[in-house]
Structure 1
Amino acid sequence: MATTTKLVPAQRDFFNKVRKAAFCNPFGHERLDLDLQIGAVPAGLDRLAITEHALAEVTRQLEDLDRKGTATLAHFTGRDGELMPTVFLFEIFHLFLDDFDRHIQQQVEAGERPQPVRFADKAMAAFYRRGFSEIDACRYLSFFFQLRRAFFFIHRDLVGDCPSMQEFRCHLWRNLFTHDIRWFENYLWNRMEDFSTLILGETGVGKGAAASAIGCSGHIPFDDKTGKFRESFTAVFIARNLSQFPESLIESELFGHRKGSFTGATGDFKGVFAQCSPHGAIFLDEIGDLSAPIQIKLLQVLQERIFSPVGSHDKLRFSGRVIAATNRPLDTLRREGTFRNDFFYRLCSDVITVPSLRQRIRENPLELDLLLQRVVERIVGESQPALAEEIRTILDKSLGPEYGWPGNVRELEQAVRRILLAGDYTGETRTRSGDMDDNFLAKVGEYGVSAQEMLCDYCKVLHRRYGTYEKVAHITGLDRRTVKKYIEASEL
């Protein structure tokens, strides 16, 4: 029987900070503050260096226990027995970060076939060394893989340092692991399919990237017999843009059909709900364009987790998670009755709004530089800061600092391509009669607004359309500073 060890107050205080760090949202400020305390380093270092100092100090403190032969679960009881399992898990997780990252890259390249987890034996040995059982080791290896995938995809695909992007990444993390990861670990790790998600935002802001980060980061069990995770995360996320299907085919695409159920149904077809894995997620983009009959059928799937293919009375079970997105104003659609309230309330376990590019640049002008560097890297295959800087100079000269980027990040990506091809980009200047902001029109028509509010909203609509304060000032007859004041007031 192992000798019981009692931590001294200084050790307990230190390891309590480690425990708090383990439970923190990695994209929030609290984790950074704790890393500073754990590593005992000044705040002037970059975040990676701060984290490395913190991990080195955790390793040093645990090595002190190792030298005394008192660093397993069996050595601790009472309060220390509740504290140290999390500390050991924190240690093991960070020991294998690089291995998890390599495995993620290998799986991305391999596609749908699960790849061997080459470091699994070493990881399992690390769990055993600290006193974890085989069952717990397999479970925590799966949990660690999910944590690292979530961080990998959110950090890689959703770049930005402005406040709204920092909160956006924190929100995505909460969507996957709840606001208290202990709740997730104890109660919800295998029940997140009950939490549907609605992603809102303008065209081109990155709703698809957000959905992919969620969909590729679900829980996938580790199979110790095969040395692989049971499924590839690349296979468990299914995305469909509903606007690309005619009304007559949407039901078949979603639920599948039986041979002969309609003209052209020459064989059985599995819809996306049948294709989805129990560990997976379905992303339904442009959900705001669905007709009422399809909304009702989707509502039944969300309520009962049961659906029937077209032309069949069979009841099939859906076990995955639903993520939906739209760029349309749902408040207006619900008031008009074109988007059902009961359908909305089944979709809104979590509602995530993706910030627009103009909001991000307004919060932090350097946001554009970060995005340009990432876009250039994606296009040319490697980091090219000088090229990104040259493109920024061209954009500033052609568009000015107040261009509104109506197409958001998607427009920015095409602007970079156009500059690489033609050496210039003049911006999006086309207008449409239907461009007026739906929320603005609904508010005027239904509730009534003051002249001041109407002018604020009108300036905002014009700015979205034309992109610069100068153009809005010219149209309205106001001076530029007044226009800027009205637009900022309308967005409070």
Structure 2
Amino acid sequence: MAFLTGSDRTLAEAISRLAYCNPFLPERIECERQALGDAFVPGGTLWHATGDPEPPPNVFALRERAGALSERLAARLAEQARPGAEDLQLYEDVVIYMLFARYDDDFYGLIDERAATAAVGFYRRFRHDVERLLQISRARLVADRDVPHLFAAFFQVRRAFHYIFHNIIGNSAPIVRLRATVWQSIFTRDMRRYRRSLYQRMGDVATLIS
């Protein structure tokens, strides 16, 4: 059984790039365009604000497409598809993107300082989704010990985005570059590598986002 072909492969490759790109660079816009095709809505694509962000329609469309693709690929794995290493990496990237999008609002709710010591009620749902999609027999892509790290990494990404978005305001070229540079100073040029290993050296990071 084929695992990734045609339009599904094109979509998976675009979402894979989107999952690890710098969200404050035009690169993100191009990834969204590739993932959505004719459904892409142009305009208002460089994120900055003086108030709460209003996600553009592309964000919702991408969430739906990533969710549907994740379920299709998980079903193929359950039906004994045998993807190679490259296709498994694409599958993992799609699921990672989908999970972050699915729980985005929940992580946003944790940014409030009053929630710092509160119980995280959605962790069980998050872990269940990881087990269902990333810990199946043919694709055990996330070890049990790494699930809390993945959860914490998602929160860190959401929190960094929030403070960069709200505190570096403007749409001039220097400000656009500044937002992107601050993001990169936290997560480096290679966010995939950061997720795998560099997070362990967070004590060496000089950028303060608080």
- Distance in 2 of aligned mates of 1:175 and 1:139: 20
Give the structure 2 partner of residue 20 of structure 1.
17
Q: 2:68 aligns with which of 60, 79, 101?
A: 60
Q: 1:82 deviation in Å?
A: 2.2
Poorly superposed stretches of 4+, deviation over 6 Å: none
1:79 to 2:86 alignment: yes
Q: Over the residues paired in the alignment, what is the CA RMSD in angstroms?
A: 2.3
Letter in 1 for 2:25: G
Instruction: Kindly indicate whether the alpha-carbon contact (under 8 Å) linking 1:35 and 1:50 is maintained by their aligned counterparts in 2.
Output: yes
Contact 2:63 2:102 in 1 (8 A): no
Deviations 1:106-152 (A, max 9, x none): xx135xx5221111111111101112432121110011011111001
Q: Does the 8 Å CA contact 2:127/2:147 hold for their aligned counterparts?
A: yes
Q: How does 1:191-230 map to 2 (within 5 A)?
A: 191-196=201-206, 211=208, 213=209, 216=210
Judging changes above 3 Å, is the alpha-carbon distance between structure 1 residues 97 and 195 closer, same or farther for their aligned structure 2 residues?
closer
The one-letter code sitting in structure 2 at the alignment partner of 1:8 is T
Please state whether the residue corresponding to 1:125 is helix, strand or coil. helix
1:139 maps onto 2:149 in alignment: yes
Q: 1:184, 1:152 → 2: CA distance?
A: 19
Question: Displacement, 1:37?
Answer: 1.8
Contiguous gaps of at least 5 residues in structure 2? 46-55, 136-141
Change (3 A) 1:109 1:141: same
Distance in 2, Cα, partners of 1:10 & 1:69: 15
Q: Say which of 186, 190, 195 aligns to 1:176.
A: 186
Q: Secondary structure at the match of 1:184?
A: helix
The match for 2:166 is 156
* Residue number in structure 2 paired with 1:233: none
Once the two structures are superposed, residues 205-227 of structure 1 have per-residue CA deviations (whole angstroms, 9 ceiling, x without a partner) of xxxxxx4x2xx3xxxxxxxxxxx
Q: SS of the counterpart of 1:135?
A: helix
RCO greater where, 1 or 2, for CA within 8 Å and sep 6 or more? Answer: 2
**Aligned partner letter, 1:140:** L
Tell me which of 8, 28, 32 is aligned to 1:31: 28
- Secondary structure of residue in 1 paired with 2:77: coil
- Provide the residue aligned with 1:120 in structure 2: 123
- Mapped to 1, the partners of 2:162 and 2:78 lie a distance apart of 30
- CA 1:23–1:139 in structure 2 vs 1: closer, same or farther (change >3 Å)? same
CA distance in 2, matches of 1:46, 1:56: 20
Shift of 1:43: 4.5
Greater strand share, 1 or 2? 1
**Larger Rg, first or second structure (1 or 2):** 1
- Alignment partners' CA distance in 1, 2:143 and 2:206: 34
CA, structure 1 residues 98+187, in 2 after alignment: closer, same or farther (shift >3 Å)? Answer: same
Alignment CA distance shift 1:5-1:136 (3 Å): farther
- Return the alpha-carbon distance in structure 1 between the equivalents of residues 131 and 119 of structure 2: 20
* Percent identity for Structure 1 against Structure 2: 25
Q: What is the alpha-carbon distance in structure 2 between the residues aligned to residue 5 and residue 119 of structure 1?
A: 34
Alpha-carbon contact 2:107-2:155 (below 8 Å) kept:
yes
Q: 1:187 to 1:137 in 2, by over 3 A?
A: closer
TM-score, with length taken from structure 2: 0.81
d(CA) in 2 for partners of 1:24 and 1:139?
20
Aligned to 2:52: none
Matches within 5 A, 1:178-327: 178-196=188-206, 211=208, 213=209, 216=210
The one-letter amino acid of 2:187's match is F
Correspondence for 2:53: none
- Equivalent residues of 1:62, 1:71 under 8 A apart: no
Measure how far apart 1:24 and its partner are. Answer: 0.3
Aligned-partner residue type, residue 114 of structure 2: E
Residue 411 of structure 1 corresponds to none
Query: CA contact under 8 A between 1:100 and 1:145: conserved in structure 2?
Result: yes
Which secondary structure state, in structure 1, belongs to the residue aligned with residue 126 of structure 2? helix
TM-score (norm 1): 0.36
Separation in structure 1 between the aligned mates of residue 199 and residue 162 of structure 2, nearest angstrom = 19
The structure richer in helix per residue is 2
Q: 1:88 — aligned with what? A: 95
Change beyond 3 A, Cα 1:17–1:181: same
